Every structure is written in C-alpha cells, then in structure tokens.
Amino acid sequence: MMNKNNRDIRVPAIWDRSGLPGWCYHSPALLELEKEHIFKTHWQIACHVSDVPEVGSFQTFDMCGERAIILRDSDRKVRAFHNICRHRGSRLVVKDNGICKNALVCPFHGWVYNLDGTLRGAARPDSFPELDKHKFGLRTIDFEIWNGFVFVRFKKGPQPAVKELLEPFAREAAGYNMADHVPVGELWHGQSPVNWKSVRDVDNEGYHVAMAHPALQDLYGATYADEPYVNGVSRSDGKFTQSSGRRWAVRNYKKMSKPQEHLPESLHRSWLYYGLFPNAVIAATPETILFYQEFPLSTAKSQLRSGIYRNPVEDRQQRASRYLANRIDRETVKEDIQLTIWSNESMASDSFEGFYLSDLEYGVRSHHDHLRAILPIYNVKQAPIEDDVKTLNTSLGNTGAQ
C-alpha cells in the first residue's frame, strides 16, 4: 500500500527490534569501511547556492579526509572541485568561505587556477615543462543541485541522482521555493563526543519527543509522525496543534507564524523533515529551510554541520516568527545532543544487550537496514577481531563494498 508520496511506509507486524550490535559504534576498522562505502560514495550536502552568491564566492566542505570547494565562476555558474592543488595537494582555500576575486591561489607554492578550475599557471613557470591548463586543472567532483542545495559525492556509489532520490517529495518541496532562499548566517559547525550513528539513531525517531523535547511537544505534539527510510529517503512531519502553547516561544510562534504568499496552505502550519541516507536532513518550516548532517571524526567523535536559510523578502512579523522557530530548534538540538551521548555510552557497556525498538522507532531500523545492505558486517553480533573486519565483510558478500 503506497502513501500519497508513492512510498510504502508500513511498519511490518513482526520485525527484529534490535539495533546494530554495540561493537559497531566503537570499531576503528568498521569506521574505515563506513568512510569509504557509506560516506564518500553517498551524496552529501555541501551548501546552498546562496552560500556562494557572487562571482568568486566559495564554500568549503571537508569530510572523512576529503575536501571540496563549491565555487561560483566568472559566468555565475556553480562548480564543485576537490580543494586540492594539483602540484602538492595543499588545500587551495583555507577559510570555510569567502571570495576569490580573480583566481584561486594555492597558499603553499602559489599555483594559480582560474575560477573555472583550469590552471592559469604554476609558480616559477620556468622550472616546469609546458603545463596543459586542463590536464593540470582542478579535479571536479560529482555534484548536483536540488532545490538550491548543492550535493557532492566524492566517489561513485549506489545512489541514483539526487533528483531521482528525492522524487517522492518533489511536489511538496517545490512549494517552499527553496532555491530562492538566502542564508541566515554562516554554516554552523559543532562536535559531539559520540559515534555518528548515535546521532542518527536519535534523529531517526520521534518516540522521544514527548519525553525530551517539551517545546516540540508543545508545538506539534501527537501529530508528529515518522516515515521510515525507503530507497534512501525518509520523511517526518508535525502539524501545529490547536492549543495556544504553554511555553513562551511556542505560544508566540504559533501566534505570529505568517507563511509566505507562495507557500501552499497545506504547509502553513507544519514542520517537515526529509531524511537522506546516510546522514543528512533537510527541514522546512513556514519561515525557514535548513539542513543538518553529521559525519565521523573518529569512532567517538562526530562533526555536526548545519545551515539555515530564509525567504529573501520577509516582513517584521515573519522575521520575528523565524527567530522564534529558530529558538525552538536550538533548544531541541541541545536536548538531542544529550540524548546521543546517553545512547552512545551504552554501546561501551558489556551489560547493554542492545535496542528493543518501538513501532514508533521503525525509522531507526530502516536506517540500519540501509547500512546492512551496504556493509553486511553490521549483521555480526559479536565484535570480530579488528584486523578481520574488512575481510569478514567481504566474505559475507554484499553489493556495496569490496
């Protein structure tokens, strides 16, 4: 049975309610497989086109040892390159964002690249043979723009194009005019002392909302619902409840929320979340769109990254309601970070026997199933010898990783 987005989101009557084995959350060998086969091979949100508004504007994106630069060239076209000089591999831009007014100049030896990525010239050109500007140009990265969000993929992988991946939500998402949004500020970066999967395990279910997120509960309460990951994407939404709101921010937000004229009425009083396997969410409220993502720095440390965007034109009331929405969201993020710490530390305990998930947490299971489909080693209940993890994974047979 398909829902309105043509997705089968039913929770099976009988399903394995255990999560991933605890060892999966602290195995360095598994983490290396995850970097190669989960992160580098899957689409990652690098930024929004509005983060690179002018000719020469750039935004960088570092992940799992790889680094990208998103750049607007002289023809105002958005491009994506590896942030790696073709000479010795130095990063070409060292800041998170900025403007290269004329060209990219490597800070190591001074090779110069045009904004279209071609090599303008090597420093001390008399010390080199003739260099072809294309052959020695910046290496491009597979990238795609979906509703203004710039996705990159460091290595070819099993996912289809982003447009195809997110097709089930295309019509709904179009209502927000996401591509026209502008940044509220610079991208936010944070670190959390947990394995990346603990971040996702918390974010993939709303069972904890009533207990852990009083503001969200006050905002949309029992209307909140999660759709599991199906073909790499999930969806959640909550609709504003009829109550006026007990908490100051929620009460005033519900009172002040004033959607843009272009937004369809069905989205006027909703918060929406589109999950993208393996590690990202695009969320939309009547006032803002945003993305957030996490990726591993080590088995026990994750990088958190997010960006918030607003409609380019807004009146005072809309600006105030955006502030209130952000205040509710900030509170929620802080609460979630604590939950991820509690969830993650359980994985180190010999006494913890694994999850026993509610039907309301089927999103967690569906995410784990996506992971298992790529790395069958996740099915191994007891921690293997670290040196055997890669070989064992290969011997278990899979389609995604060899």
CB count within 10 Å of CB 139 equals 10
Q: Which is nearer to another protein, 98 or 160 (CB)?
A: 98
Compute the least distance from the CB of residue 241 to another protein, in Å: 50
The CA distance from 150 to 291, in Å, is: 11
Compute the least distance from the CB of residue 78 to another protein, in Å: 21
Single out the residue of 45, 80, 122, 187 in contact with another protein (rule: CB under 8 A).
Answer: 122
Single out the residue of 120, 251, 319, 372 in contact with another protein (rule: CB under 8 A).
Answer: 120
- Sorted by sequence, the CB contacts under 8 Å of residue 83 that are 6+ apart come out as 60, 62, 67, 68, 69, 91, 92, 93
Single out the residue of 53, 89, 107, 160 in contact with another protein (rule: CB under 8 A).
Answer: 107
Single out the residue of 11, 55, 78, 131 in contact with another protein (rule: CB under 8 A).
Answer: 131
Q: Which is nearer to another protein, 123 or 212 (CB)?
A: 123
| Residue 1: C-alpha distances to residues 7, 9, 253 (Å) | 8, 8, 36
Q: Which is nearer to another protein, 121 or 354 (CB)?
A: 121
Q: Is 334 in the site for another protein (CB under 8 A)?
A: no
Which phi and psi (to 5°) does residue 63 adopt?
-160, 130
Q: Is 55 in the site for another protein (CB under 8 A)?
A: no
- Count of residues interacting with another protein (CB under 8 A): 21
* Nearest one of 262, 275, 292 to 364, comparing CA atoms: 275
Q: Is 119 in the site for another protein (CB under 8 A)?
A: yes
Tokens of 340: 């991820």
CA 51, 319, 327: angle at the middle one, nearest 5?
A: 85
* Nearest one of 204, 194, 150 to 303, comparing CA atoms: 194
Single out the residue of 11, 78, 99, 225 in contact with another protein (rule: CB under 8 A).
Answer: 99
User: 3-class SS at 271?
Assistant: strand
Q: Is 125 in the site for another protein (CB under 8 A)?
A: yes
Kind plus residue range of the DSSP H or E element containing 105: strand 104-105
Q: Is 88 in the site for another protein (CB under 8 A)?
A: no
Q: Which is nearer to another protein, 17 or 133 (CB)?
A: 133
Span 227-246, contacts to another protein by CB under 8 A: none
Token look-up 């967690």 returns 364
Cβ atoms of 98 and 79 closer than 8 Å: no
Q: Is 112 in the site for another protein (CB under 8 A)?
A: yes
Q: Is 133 in the site for another protein (CB under 8 A)?
A: yes
12-20, 124-132, 192-200, 299-307 -> range binding another protein (CB under 8 A): 124-132
Compute the least distance from the CB of residue 90 to another protein, in Å: 13
Any bridge partners for residue 66, and if so which?
63
Cβ atoms of 65 and 35 closer than 8 Å: yes
Single out the residue of 11, 105, 182, 392 in contact with another protein (rule: CB under 8 A).
Answer: 105
Single out the residue of 103, 179, 212, 337 in contact with another protein (rule: CB under 8 A).
Answer: 103
Compute the least distance from the CB of residue 128 to another protein, in Å: 9
**What are the contacts of 131-136 at 24+ separation with CB within 8 A?**
136/86
Kind plus residue range of the DSSP H or E element containing 229: strand 225-230
Residue 236 per-residue DSSP state: E
Compute the least distance from the CB of residue 115 to another protein, in Å: 10
| Residue 59: C-alpha distances to residues 54, 67, 247 (Å) | 11, 11, 37
Single out the residue of 65, 94, 102, 189 in contact with another protein (rule: CB under 8 A).
Answer: 102
Binding region for another protein (CB under 8 A) = 99-103, 105, 107, 110, 112, 119-126, 130-133
